[in-house]
Structure 1
Amino acid sequence: MPKANRLLPSFVRHLPPAQGRTLRRNLLFVSITLSMIGLLSLMSDAFAAGGAYVVDDAGINAPGECNVDVWYQDARHSPNSSSVVSPACTFKELPTVQLGAAIQRNRADGQGETQLSPQFKAQLFSREDLGLQLALAGSTHFAFDRAHSFDGADLNLPITWQPFEALRLNLNTGWTHAYDDGEQNHRWTWGTGVEYDLARSLTLIAERYGQRGGEQAWQAGPRLHIGERIDVDLIVGRSLIGERDQWLTTGATLRF
């Protein structure tokens, strides 16, 4: 038996090959994430951010500040997975606009695809006394691994209302243009989300989102605040159409 296999716990060695590979990928991602947290916590300040959640809030980084989101999503009953790195910054010269990009690597049915998505979010309205914020967000998507690289675009209008300090309510409405197996589709999108600060180090988040005539799903989980520098998300999600696929997501957010 190879030395690497002898080092694995016995229950891992007795799993079916596909489940064993999935578990090893998850353990590797968690190890890398924790290592990044340990390193980056020495040099950055982090606060809450959108991360792997689909429903966006209306907040942006303060001028001169940046954030980086990383997450790994794994389907529970299939070999499909995705890994994402998404940096974003608000420059002092454009204090009401946040610019960023997401690099996403998807694997489905044994095939891999890499996608680049430039993004922006412009704050249109902010009243701290009312606890209300309004923004306009957009992104475009380009696939690297096929002849037709342009994959679609999105526009979204996020609204955030904070009725009291511990509770934030997010509402999204928007439009998406996508190529689905060569067919162009235009759909209205929507989403609702809630964030509740249960403790100083713990926020509970839940969301429900969908597209008219397309995707419908929910996600929920805790957001752990490690000091004031790093946030870690543990998320479970489920589709509400088709075979009702389920997935697990682990992610981290940092700001500097």
Structure 2
Amino acid sequence: MFDRVEADGASDEAGGKSLKRSAALVLLLAIMLASSSARAAGGPHVVDDSEPETPGVCHFETWVSPSLSGGGYVNESPACTMTKIPWLQLGAAYQHFWGPTFNGPIFGPAAKINFRHEDSGLGVGLGLNSGVNLQTGELATASTLMLVTVPIDDRVRFNFNAGWSYVNSDTPNSFFYGGQFEAEVGGDILLMIEAFGRAANSPGTQMGLRYTPHGGPFDFDLLVANYFGAVNTQVVTFGVTIRY
């Protein structure tokens, strides 16, 4: 009987560690998915659009994403598009992650190449990013994604992403997919709903609002995401973007 109790206790402890590890992986995936981007699909939105930042303009995005089950991360990511190279956006991203099984900073470059502007009726681009764990020097995340934007009118558009995703985990290489709906609903507010995932992991969804006062240089984001898996993880995000 005592042997069984001890075995059950060990099993419960192992199960608890497994659940914590699953939650930590979900948050690490969130870091990888929330790549630096431009315009309405930028900031803490997971799915990206095809368009680089306005030529001659830079932006600085920052947000905090605490998980309701513990852990989370903070992001800071600048990016610019030069007037002489209007099809290329270059930037970097720094994230500090905290959780039950991993605490540390991740830093790396990010780029977006535009092949076809959405003004033509179909936007096409390529997103590239990677991140290194600054504590260990190991590659933590990386991705190469095709970015497609389909504008419906001046207020509504769809964004689609697909490509290679790397996360330093049990299943490092995987296919990433995502789709996003955006609509300007009035009052300087944008509604966003998206679904995304890696083939090696369970999918996630996110929705929220972006407030851009008078169409100016500031964006304010409020988002709620749900990452499905062995542990369903809910993440709330508060973000601010400034363009200059």
TM range, normalised to the smaller chain? 0.7 to 0.9
Q: Distance in 1 between matches of 2:175 and 2:101?
A: 31
Corresponding position: 1:108 with 2:96: no
Specify the SS of the correspondent of 1:128: helix
Shift of 1:249: 0.4
Write the deviation string for residues 231-253 of structure 1: whole angstroms up to 9, x where unpaired.
Answer: 10000010122221111000011
Specify the SS of the correspondent of 2:212: strand
Corresponding position: 1:186 with 2:173: yes
Corresponding position: 1:169 with 2:158: yes
User: In structure 2, what residue type is equivalent to 1:197?
Assistant: E
Aligned to 1:27: none
Shift of 1:156: 0.5
Give matches, 1:1-150, under 5 Å: 48-78=40-70, 80-109=71-100, 111-126=102-117, 128-130=119-121, 132-146=122-136, 148-150=137-139
Shift of 1:111: 4.8
Q: 1:127 to 1:86 in 2, by over 3 A?
A: closer
Aligned to 2:218: 230
Q: Distance in 2 between matches of 1:179 and 1:57?
A: 25
Aligned to 2:10: none
Q: 1:73 to 1:255 in 2, by over 3 A?
A: same
Corresponding position: 1:198 with 2:205: no
Corresponding position: 1:254 with 2:204: no
Specify the SS of the correspondent of 1:119: strand
Q: Which segments of 5 or more consecutive residues in structure 1 lack a partner in the other structure?
A: 1-45
Q: Distance in 2 between matches of 1:253 and 1:176?
A: 25
Shift of 1:200: 4.1
CA RMSD of aligned residues (A): 1.7
Q: Distance in 2 between matches of 1:163 and 1:47?
A: 16
Q: 1:134 to 1:200 in 2, by over 3 A?
A: farther
Specify the SS of the correspondent of 1:164: coil
With normalisation by structure 1, the TM-score equals 0.76
Write the deviation string for residues 168-214 of structure 1: whole angstroms up to 9, x where unpaired.
Answer: 1001111112221xx56210100000111000411100100001021
Runs of 4+ displaced beyond 6 Å: none
User: In structure 2, what residue type is equivalent to 1:135?
Assistant: G
Q: Which segments of 5 or more consecutive residues in structure 2 lack a partner in the other structure?
A: 1-37
Q: Distance in 1 between matches of 2:241 and 2:181?
A: 18
Aligned to 1:160: 149
Q: 1:109 to 1:127 in 2, by over 3 A?
A: closer
Aligned to 2:231: 243
Matched length? 206
